[in-house]
Structure 1
Amino acid sequence: MLETGPNLAPLEVSLSDDPRVVKKAATEDYTTHVVPLSWRSSKKSLSMSWYSLVSGMFYLVTAATLAAVVGTANTLIGGALAVAVFGLFGSIVSRYAAKTGLTVALISQRLFGVTGSIVAPLILAATSIYYAVFESSVIAHAFYGYIGVLDIRVWNAIAVVMSLPLIMGGIRRWMDKYNAALLPVYWIGLIIVVVLAARQGDTSGWLSHAPQTSVDLSAPGWLYAFFVYLGSLVFMMFTMDFARFGKPNDARINGIGIFGPVFYFFVYIANGLIGIFIAYAAGLSGQISDTAVVDTIVGLLGTWGLLLVWVTQARINTANFYVASTNIEALWTRVFRTELPRVIAVLICGGITYLFMLTDVLSYLLVALAWQGAFIAAWASMTLVHIYLSPSGDGHGLPEFRPGRLANFGAGAWIWFASSILGIVLYQYGGSIGATWSTPVTFVLAAAAYATVFKLQSKNILLQRSHDPRDEVADIWETRVKCHVCDHSYIAVEMDRDPSTTGSPAICAACAGLSRSYRRACIEEHTQPASEQTLDQPHAHSDQAR
């Protein structure tokens, strides 16, 4: 035990992982905690989990659709810009995530306040589920069209159920191994499709293809294509939740090869070229859709094509369901102040996905993604500004994220909501100009506004409290401290002292987020003059009140 003061309960510390925490992490992946250095993944393991996102029919369809509207050359220029921009952003965010070990939900508390941050995991979970709906619908359509038996609703259920077991064990336990085994199948399968398409269709001039009719896009074709790709800024939120498992020593390599430009080259250029070529060879210009591309692949390869479609969609769905379930878990904990087991969170995501698949998906999916895209663009820009303006954090080289040391709302929350709503209004009512420019306008406005109020935000969002466990240990990343509520030990990075209990014993980030008495006591301590912030009289006498 470590004595820290005459009125403080001593910290119960250790220098090794709590076996109970490690066992729980096998499925929970530290969803509501900071990822310790001992749980970080190797470059190979992390890359295989992350590269599940490279194999989506969505990228092929998007590139083929853009080529039909603005031409192949403009689509590739837009894709190259996307590689450069997303590669830079992904590298920055991934390094920050590896340095801090934080999730989207945790870093959002610093940006928007404890209450204001609740929307972040909601937006990310909903977006991930919408993508899961799209990818699962592709699988169901392929099986239904090829086999021809059973109702489409049954195939919808099969498509969802096939994906759920693959992400029950988290990133380190199963996702990396599964995706590593199937990655070659994806690329070899697509190469075979390209070869067969070249033999059966007219592919002359596909690189120089230009649209036959012009459409008012309110921007040059190449810029329009880039803005369409910019709508996928949710990649930055995905990056935060995945890159937190990276080792700090690997941050530079991971920032280039896993989360940076190499990854986005495969996403936007390699996939884009294949999608455009297949659509052109099949004569699909002007009538591009996810089902048309799928039907072409299955038509060329038969049963092997069906397997390829399943591989592509199942791989990317592991990432979709993983991010959706972890953020549902974080959201549930914050809203209902009870823990939600990961398995239950996965089943909830599967159930929601299936219910959406029973509706007319495309009638609302694109609009919903556009609305959520405004919040995501603002979140991404504000996060990047925060990283740039506060490279050393608020203390110990980290941003403050502990719920007992942050206000309910910060200026960042109002900027986030205002800029996002403005982006939605521009998209809905701005005609072709609004539809094209809403995402970049939202991104720039949110960044500029947050940079303007950054110093004021940093001053007002941090609660002034004494007695920080981080100051009481030699190494905040290697020292484990026992939480007086759950009785489990977590790294000192996330630990706080609980002023609602006599002696202010240590409390972990997850339990702190569940406890109302802890929150009230922290605010009360903040409002007291510094000279009165003693522990002689505890603010409340409830060990585990919630």
Structure 2
Amino acid sequence: MSYANYVMPEARRAPRWSLTMAWWALFSAMFWIYVAVASANAVGTVNTIIGMVLTIASYGAINLVLSRYAARTGLTVELLSRTLFGIVGSALASLIFAATAIYYAVFEGSIIAVAFQKFFGGEITMWYAIVVIYALPLVAGGVQNWLDRLNGWLLPLYFAGLVAVVVAATAIRGVPVSFPVGVADGPVPGWLTSYLIYMGVWIMMMYTFDYARMARKKDEKFHGRITFGWVFYAFTFGVNGLVGIYIMSAWGLAGTETGVVDAFISSLGIFGVLVIFISQTRINTANYYLASSNLDAFATRVFRLALPRWVWVIVAGAIAYLLMLTNVLSYLLKALAWQGVFVTAWVAIALVYIALNRRNVHQVPEIRRERLSAFSAGTVAWLLASGTGIFLTEQTMVPVLAQLAPLITVALAAGGYFVAYRLQKPPAMDISEDVHVDEEQLV
């Protein structure tokens, strides 16, 4: 049983290092290298490093709060969203979460496929199929079964790969004499632009919540700082980002998705392909796991369709493969930008809810279906903030508002939900209530 639609019982929680190794799969995404290089090309290396430091601090603080709350309650994003937005609103949250995880699986899987094609040749569609098919069995068992061991074995290999690519690039090309300087600051300072670029991946907050629910309550402090907190992001954004900027500068390559592949292969040859394979295998275990879990929650909620999670792993893989066959990069970033607006609004609302209930230590959100409405006042706050964020992102009349759209969205969502909460306080239940005896009420 995956407990995608139920509170995670204490007996099913993962040991400390088991959960840490499973979560640190996300450390090895090539996407973090690409984001840092793209930011450096846009606003310069110094501004990007400042943006990284601020991002590490804010991600660490936010995920400290979210991970501790998820560990205390055992809720998923979908279950918490029932209280925040009602039954229908929670289904929308699951769908957005699943779609975003699939899009990231497409991006990371495409990186492996491109690396294989560049080195071994062959049709790219064949490599797309291979990278999807081999990943699915790795995820079917879930985090508690063997994802922790798989990612634990691969983690030191990825670290070694990062060291090797820096050493090899330096030996072949020499120490870079120049780094990206970007353009002069516009209406928004360069460091803030870099920070806003990293806000585009606040989906990590949702990822955190669904993983942290598997933490044992006694481990919440450790997980809040090490597993999901600032230590993780110092490596994920800081180490990956600096390595990316260094090797791309050494090779003088453009900051594109395929440019990252070229830098690794040019530096390490077949071992570069191996590093890419290891890194993308690790990150896609998380992407497919969360995509399948949230597809499960969405189908259960909307269609009352209760199927084993491995079925949704296959569905997620099939969707990812079909997206790979399209010109996905032409619309992937646009789709992620739109979904990112909904995600940042969700995070702001979740933080406000947790803050308003921080003293209610003997209560948890009400999640039983028959005690919740289809929609809530929180739904209005979420949709209005998200709609405004998308409009600001797409409009071209005032460019500064487009750049600041993530921050404006967060402010509108937080303020709107605070008002909605006062108008219609969400129901709660006593923490002593045993919801597991009434699991049918949750579906």
Q: Identify the match of residue 11 of structure 2 among 33, 38, 44.
A: 38
Q: Which amino acid counterpart does residue 111 of structure 1 have in structure 2? A: L
- Is the counterpart of residue 231 in structure 1 residue 196 in structure 2? no
Residues of 1 paired with 2:399 and 2:281: CA distance? Answer: 35
Q: 1:80 aligns with which of 43, 53, 73?
A: 53
Shift of 1:435: 3.2
For residue 507 of structure 1, what is the aligned residue in structure 2?
438
Letter in 2 for 1:155: W
Question: Which consecutive unaligned segments of at least 5 residues does structure 1 have?
Answer: 1-24, 477-491, 496-505, 515-546
Residue equivalent to 1:279? 248
C-alpha contact (below 8 Å) 1:334/1:513 kept by paired residues: no
Match of 1:420, as an amino acid? S
Distance 1:242 1:356 in 2: 26
Residues 78-131 of structure 1 deviation map (CA, whole Å, 9 limit, x = unaligned): 000000000000000000000000000000000011222210000000000000
Q: Give the counterpart of 1:358 among 325, 330, 339.
A: 325
The one of 109, 125, 131 equivalent to 2:98 is 125
State the SS of the aligned residue for 1:398: strand
In the TM superposition, what are the counterparts of 1:131-210 in structure 2 within 5 Å? 131-149=104-122, 151-206=123-178, 209-210=180-181
Q: Post-superposition shift, 1:202?
A: 4.3
Q: Does residue 1:100 correspond to 2:73, yes or no?
A: yes
User: Map of 1:267-416 to 2, 5 A cutoff?
Assistant: 267-284=236-253, 287-393=254-360, 396-416=362-382
Q: Which residues in structure 2 correspond to 1:441-452 (within 5 Å)?
A: 441-452=408-419
What is the CA-CA distance between 1:300 and the residue it aligns to?
1.7
Q: Secondary structure at the match of 2:112?
A: helix
In structure 2, distance between residues paired with 1:329 and 1:404: 20
- Deviation at residue 391 of structure 1 after TM alignment: 1.6
Amino acid at match of 1:169: G
- Aligned equivalents of 1:421 and 1:444: distance in 2? 13
Q: Which residue of 2 aligns with 1:493?
A: 434
Alignment partner, residue 423 of structure 1: 389
Q: Contact 2:388/2:409 (CA < 8 Å) preserved in 1?
A: yes
Match in the other structure for 2:33? 60
For the aligned residue pairs, the C-alpha RMSD in angstroms reads 1.7
Which amino acid is the alignment partner of residue 279 of structure 2?
T
Choose between structure 1 and 2 for higher RCO, CA contacts under 8 A separated by at least 6 residues: 2
Once the two structures are superposed, residues 217-250 of structure 1 have per-residue CA deviations (whole angstroms, 9 ceiling, x without a partner) of x310101000100111111111110000111111
Contact 1:69 / 1:215 at 8 angstroms: preserved in 2? no
Q: What displacement does 1:507 show? A: 2.6
- Give per-residue Cα distances to partners, 1:433-483, cap 9 Å, x unaligned: 24311111101110011112322221xx439xxxx8x6xxxx94xxxxxxx
Q: Does 1:221 align with 2:190?
A: yes
Secondary structure, in 3 states, of the residue corresponding to 2:87?
Answer: coil
**Separation (CA, whole Å) in 1 of partners of 2:362 and 2:185:** 54
CA contact (8 A) 2:103 2:332 kept: yes
Identity %: 43
Are the counterparts in 2 of residues 337 and 513 from structure 1 also a CA contact under 8 Å?
no
SS across alignment from 1:419: helix
**Ranges of 4+ aligned residues in structure 1 off by more than 6 Å:** none
CA separation in 2, counterparts of 1:360 and 1:493? 49
Matched residues in 1 for 2:18 and 2:308: separation? Answer: 24
**Higher gyration radius (CA):** 1
TM-score scaled by structure 2?
Answer: 0.96
Aligned mates of 1:344, 1:209 — CA distance in 2? 45
CA displacement 1:313-367 (0-9 Å, x = unmatched): 1100000000000000000001111202111100000000000000001111000
> What is the alpha-carbon distance in structure 2 between the residues aligned to residue 133 and residue 60 of structure 1?
16
2:82 — aligned with what? Answer: 109
SS in 2 for 1:507: helix
User: Are 1:61 and 1:289, in contact at CA under 8 Å, matched by a contact in 2?
Assistant: yes
CA distance in 2, matches of 1:197, 1:299: 8
Cα separation, 2, equivalents of 1:126 and 1:215 = 34
Superposed displacement of residue 396, structure 1: 3.5
Q: What do the CA deviations read for 1:179-200 (whole angstroms, capped 9, x no partner)?
A: 0000011010111000011122
Give the residue type in structure 1 aligned to 2:419: T
Higher helix share: 2
Shift of residue 63 of structure 1?
0.6
Question: TM-score, with normalisation over the residues of structure 1?
Answer: 0.79
Shift of 1:392: 4.2
Q: Could you tell me whether the CA contact under 8 Å between 2:176 and 2:249 is conserved in 1?
A: no
Q: Count matched residues.
A: 442
Matched, 1:259 2:225: no
C-alpha separation between the residues in 1 aligned to 2:42 and 2:343? 26
Distance apart, 1:290 and its partner CA: 1.5
Q: Given residue 451 of structure 1, which amino acid in structure 2 is its aligned partner?
A: F
Between the aligned partners of 1:372 and 1:65, the Cα distance in structure 2 is 20
CA drift at 1:214: 3.8
Q: Runs of 5+ in structure 2 lacking a partner?
A: none
Kindly provide the amino acid, as one letter, of the partner of residue 196 in structure 1. Answer: A
1:432 and 2:399 matched: yes
CA contact (8 A) 1:117 1:413 kept: no
SS of residue paired to 2:364: coil
Name the structure 2 match of 1:530: none
Equivalent position amino acid for 2:13 in 1 = R
Amino acid at match of 2:427: L
Instruction: Give the distance between the partners of 2:399 and 2:170, measured in 1 at CA.
Output: 36
For residue 217 of structure 2, what is the aligned residue in structure 1?
A: 248
Q: Distance in 2 between matches of 1:361 and 1:70?
A: 26
